[in-house]
Amino acid sequence: MDLPALQPSTLYLVATPIGNLEDMTLRGVRVLRECDVVAAEDTRRTGQLLKHFGTSKPLLSYFQFNEARRSEEIIERLRRGEKVALVTDAGSPGISDPGERVVKAALAAGLRVEPVPGACALVAGLTASGLPTDEFHFIGFLPHKSGQRRNKLESLKGVSGTLVFYESPYRIEKLLGELKEVFPDRPVVLARELTKKFEEFLRGTPAELLEVARKRSLKGEFVVLVGPAPRISA
């Protein structure tokens, strides 16, 4: 089967592995091999990924603190007819990662943006959590300041469906303590080390999971899922 050639003046949003290198799709590998340049959140990490798949490309750093300047450069490259692949350290660009700004700029300039789907921690954690998937709300990372975090959680009390957060291992106990106060009776699932060797799903109430976190050193990045409030029988 003849595969479609990459189109000039197109920004390709390429999902990369969230843990296991086999998360990478065949299409994603082909786009990285055939594009003109790769805009990467961490050029060293992306360089290693390219090397693993037997290819090498010019790399352009694109991260939170240079997004505005780099977005302009990427738009100019696209206008010249280049094929640009955008990747982040893990998962789908633009989901709690750099990418949103350059996508908006490309579309505003009348340029083409094409997603190259693949691994996404949000989807992986949600679908295997056992919590309702018919309605969910992705919050991403909460603010670091305690007052702002608490206010954000309080504002979600009336939101229906499953709530999905990202959290680092350094703040997971803090978050569970906050969930214990704000959502004490809701089911919670901690998904950690997704697609890696030590992938694990921990399920329970916030209080139960807080006890687990205090007894064990829970490492890795977390997807934290909070189920809807239990229904009260009439």
Render pLDDT for 151-163 as a digit per residue (tens, 0 to 9): 999 999 999 999 9
Its domain, for residue 115, covers 10-119
Q: In this structure, are 127 and 115 located in the same domain?
A: no
CA-based nearest residue to 93, from 15, 12, 11: 15
- For residues 7 and 116, the answer to whether their CB atoms sit within 8 Å is no
CA-based nearest residue to 167, from 159, 175, 155: 175
Q: What is the mean pLDDT of residues 188-204?
A: 97
Domain tally, the chain:
2
Domain boundary among 60, 93, 119: 119
Q: In this structure, are 140 and 200 located in the same domain?
A: yes
Task: Collapse the DSSP code of 141 into the 3-class scheme (helix H, G, I; strand E, B; otherwise coil) and give the result.
Answer: strand
Decide if 26 is inside a domain.
Answer: yes
Q: In this structure, are 126 and 194 located in the same domain?
A: yes
- For residues 86 and 13, the answer to whether their CB atoms sit within 8 Å is yes
Structure tokens at 185: 């009776």
Instruction: Find the CATH number of the domain harbouring 198.
Output: 3.30.950.10
Decide if 2 is inside a domain.
Answer: no
Residues 6+ apart with CB under 8 A from 230: 185, 186
Q: In this structure, are 196 and 152 located in the same domain?
A: yes
User: pTM to 2 decimals?
Assistant: 0.92
Q: In this structure, are 28 and 104 located in the same domain?
A: yes
Render pLDDT for 88-126 as a digit per residue (tens, 0 to 9): 999 999 888 889 999 999 999 999 999 999 999 999 999
Q: In this structure, are 52 and 139 located in the same domain?
A: no
Q: In this structure, are 95 and 136 located in the same domain?
A: no
Q: In this structure, are 36 and 78 located in the same domain?
A: yes
